[in-house]
Amino acid sequence: MRYQNLTIKQSTMKKLMFIAVFLFSSIGLMAQEADFGIKGGFNYGATGDLERESAANDLGEIIEGKEKSGYHIGLFSRFEIVGIFLQPELMFTRLNTEYETFNYKIDKIDAPVLLGVNVLGPLNIKAGPSFQYIINNELEDTPLKIGDVEKDITVGYQLGAGLNLGRLGFDVRYEGAFTENTAFSEEASDNFSIDSRPSQWILSLSYAF
């Protein structure tokens, strides 16, 4: 089942990348000014609560995820049109969360599409939806196993501020989620689930070609 899901995910990812390239190219033709570049950095945050049901207690047990650091790397473009700019990105993101005795790891492709404006010199603010495609989710440092998330593709949001100094850019954002997305234990006897929605701060360094 895992192998079949991986094959489906690879096919879906290829389609998403084709759509992203098409959109980047189309918007670039309409823009008054366009930049393309690479970016990467660190993120710090967590997924939601782990819920473990108990036969002895109807309420079960709720464990809050502890924030950990992760990373991201990818491509961005920036198109300026009539005084505002549109910044679509295509990023690989690793998100880590600690739940008492083990860690929960998520690998995902993020495609934020941010609308921004320059507010003071090189300073800008931006916000917009972020489309997320979950490539892999797994537990570490434990014999417990977890199944795939309910939804491979979800929608969240990002908002923050940036500073552009020539070709270099610095960015700080907050990312949250709109869509609920839960992963359940593979073994029914383990009887737990994890709210896999991200809540994290993102710090990035970018370079425009």
Q: Which domains does the chain have, with CATH numbers?
A: 2-208 (2.40.160.20)
Mean pLDDT of all residues in 120-130: 93
The per-residue pLDDT for range 13-48, each reduced to its tens digit, is 555 555 555 555 555 555 557 789 999 999 999 999
Q: What is the pTM for the complete model shown?
A: 0.83
Ramachandran angles phi, psi of 2, nearest 5°? -60, -40
User: How many beta carbons lie within 10 A of that of residue 202, not counting itself?
Assistant: 24
Where residue 125 falls (left for φ over 0; alpha for ψ -120 to 50; beta otherwise) is: beta
The per-residue pLDDT for range 41-83, each reduced to its tens digit, is 999 999 999 998 866 556 678 999 999 999 999 999 998 877 7
